[in-house]
Structure 1
Amino acid sequence: MSSAPAPSDSIPLSVNGVEIDADAILAESASHPNEADVDHAARLALVVRELLTQKAVETSLLAAGAELDDDTIDRLLELECATPAPSDEECRRYYAANMQKFNSPELVFARHILFALTEKAAMTKVRARAEETHRELIRHPDRFEALAQTLSNCPSGQVGGNLGQLTRGESVPEFETAIFGNTRIGLLPGLVNSRYGFHIVSIERRIPGAALPYETVRSAIERYLSEHVRHKSIQQYLTLLASGAELTGITLDVRPGFLLQ
């Protein structure tokens, strides 16, 4: 494979003698605004597309001069990068090595009293009121429901602060950090500070996550392994195409995976 010096707007780009004009490079650049080198990213994307176009024509999947579309790309990659489905043994081996990924979600039943931060309330005063209430609950935990009804700025206060059954992803991260991943039951030892204000939290009950049986997750594992193998196969295929191509206007470090980074 031949390559030109470091690319710039003034260097023509071509793939096996097919030139890609400056207007196409400029248009493609708009699709890569977050890349460190926008020009190089645009050129690389256009090189990949032209390599696939030429291969699709060669394999009679595309008529010469026709526009390459996603369906044709999929058919080409299916033809050129066929990958076997993972065996049951491979799926079981992955399951055994990654059992922590296959747990039912931890459930937490909790109550809270929210002292909300507002533009009219000074944070120091809100926090002081929350801390005073927390100290009272340390002495009299049986008053939690009544205090939630009278003090909480959350609608849950109407039901004694009851939040019901919670799983990860249902509340803000700072609240989840306080209630998940530990074994505490009862009143938490300090206030929980979130974007909404200060929370007094009491954990009523926990149901830890349990390992899901292999049969339940086998199809998900098979899909994951199939996609992983397919991705690597496509990486290797594109690298092979680039290695055998005549390229100008771009410098490529041809390593496995470089075209899909």
Structure 2
Amino acid sequence: MGIAVNGIDVTDAEIAAEMAHHANAANPLKQAVHEVVLRRVLLDEADRLGIVSGDASDDERIETLFACEVQVPEVDDLACRRYYDAHKAAFTRGELVEARHILFQVTPEAPLELLRETATLILEELRHRPERFEELAKRYSNCPSGAVGGSLGQLKRGDCVPEFDAVLFRLAAGELAGRLVETRFGLHIVQVQRRLEGTLLPFDSVREQVADTLRRESWQRALHQYLHVLVGRAKIEGVELEGAESPLVQ
């Protein structure tokens, strides 16, 4: 059975044309089908509501549909203040850490289970004898930094992958992470040697930035809910539309 939206078939030509926009997607075909089907659902809803301006493009009709149907409440000072208080790290400037690590990289010759066992033993050794960090980094680390005892130098937030960053900026000066840190690169033993705490920007100076963030988040939530309603109401055959997340609505 082919793919149809509200009784109208989706053609292979439509999908092929859409695939050109998703060459870098993990699954270009799946993403293209998702986009074509969602666009059909939205345009059918625009037709139902009479949004049929002769000169408007499909994208303009969809934007008009969103403007008419997706309602987002205004952001107030209290909401901005709560967000600011809960995300102070994001508004801190000049925060730096000096850190070092030992990387155990996953390879076909060194599977994850074996690496985890070795890394756990070395982490336990460093808990008792932290002075051996440089020595063990030179011996075991699969990172070029191993040649200098695992030193990564000074780092600011965002310099490392998020899962590494999250641990790095929670550690106190001199603290060794109590667990192995897993990233796309492998397993890490991490220690922060020094910290520079940085300066928190005052609320008034970032109030509009916070408000813009909250507006975007509120818009995405409202839009996601709206799309789920439309998709649930539409008759879609031949494919299961997973969620309503799409470049159409970003």
Q: In which range does the TM-score fall when normalised by the shorter chain?
A: 0.5 to 0.7
Which residue number corresponds to residue 22 of structure 2?
Answer: 32
Tell me the amino acid that sits aligned with residue 210 of structure 2: I
Map of 1:260 onto structure 2: 245
Note if contact 1:57-1:64 (Cα within 8 Å) is conserved in structure 2.
no
Whole-angstrom CA distance in 2 between matches of 1:43 and 1:65: 26
Matched, 1:41 2:31: yes
Kindly indicate whether the alpha-carbon contact (under 8 Å) linking 1:40 and 1:250 is maintained by their aligned counterparts in 2. Answer: no
Amino acid at match of 2:42: L
Residues 129-148 of structure 1: pairs in structure 2 closer than 5 A: none
Find 1:19's aligned residue among 9, 18, 30.
Answer: 9
Q: How many residues align?
A: 158
Equivalent-residue separation in structure 2 for 1:83 and 1:228 (angstroms): 10
What corresponds to 1:250 in structure 2? 239
2:153 matched to 1:178? yes
Q: Encode CA deviations 1:172-215: one digit per residue, 9 max, x unaligned.
A: xxxx94134698xxxxxxxxxxxxxxxxxxxxxx9862111111
- Call closer, same or farther: CA 1:66–1:20 in 2, change over 3 Å: farther
Aligned mates of 1:25, 1:260 — CA distance in 2:
18
Q: Distance in 1 between matches of 2:197 and 2:241?
A: 50
CA shift in 2, pair 1:17/1:26, >3 Å? same
- 1:90 maps to amino acid: A
**Which structure exhibits the higher relative contact order, with contacts defined as CA atoms closer than 8 Å and separated by 6 or more residues?**
1
Which residue, 47, 57, 74 being the options, matches 1:57? 47
Structure 1 gap ranges (5+): 1-10, 108-175, 184-205
1:238 offset after TM fit, Å? 0.9
Q: 1:87 aligns with which of 57, 63, 76?
A: 76
Q: Which residue number in structure 1 is paired with residue 212 of structure 2? A: 223
Structure 2, unaligned runs of 5 or more: 97-150, 157-171, 174-194
Give the SS at the match of 1:178: strand
Asked which structure has the greater CA Rg, the reply is 1
Q: Quick one: structure 1 residues 100 and 246, their matched pair in 2 at CA, closer, same or farther if it must change by over 3 Å? A: same
The root-mean-square deviation of aligned C-alpha atoms, in Å, is 2.9
Decide whether aligned partners of structure 1 residues 216 and 177 sit closer, same or farther in structure 2, where only a CA change above 3 A counts.
farther
3-state SS of 1:62 partner: coil
1:140-179 per-residue CA deviation (whole Å, 9 max, x = no partner) reads xxxxxxxxxxxxxxxxxxxxxxxxxxxxxxxxxxxx9413
1:73 paired to 2:62: yes
Query: In 2 relative to 1, CA 51–105 (structure 1 residues): closer, same or farther, beyond 3 Å?
Result: same
Moved more, 26-35 or 45-54: 26-35
Give 1:60 shift: 2.0
Give the residue type in structure 2 aligned to 1:179: Q
Question: Alignment partner of 1:57: what SS?
Answer: helix
Q: CA deviation at 1:66?
A: 6.9
How big is each residue's C-alpha offset from its partner over 1:42-94, in whole Å with a ceiling of 9 and x where there is no partner?
A: 1110011111111112222224897412x332221121111012211111011
Q: Which amino acid aligns with 2:153?
A: A
Partner Cα distance (2:236, 2:16) in 1: 19
Contact in 2 for aligned 1:51/1:241 (Cα 8 Å):
yes
Cα 1:222–1:39 shift into 2, 3 Å: same
**Residue 4 of structure 2: SS of its match in structure 1?**
strand
How many angstroms apart in 2 are the aligned matches of 1:72 and 1:65? 10
Q: Is the 8 A contact 1:16 1:247 kept in 2?
A: yes
Tell me the percent identity.
29
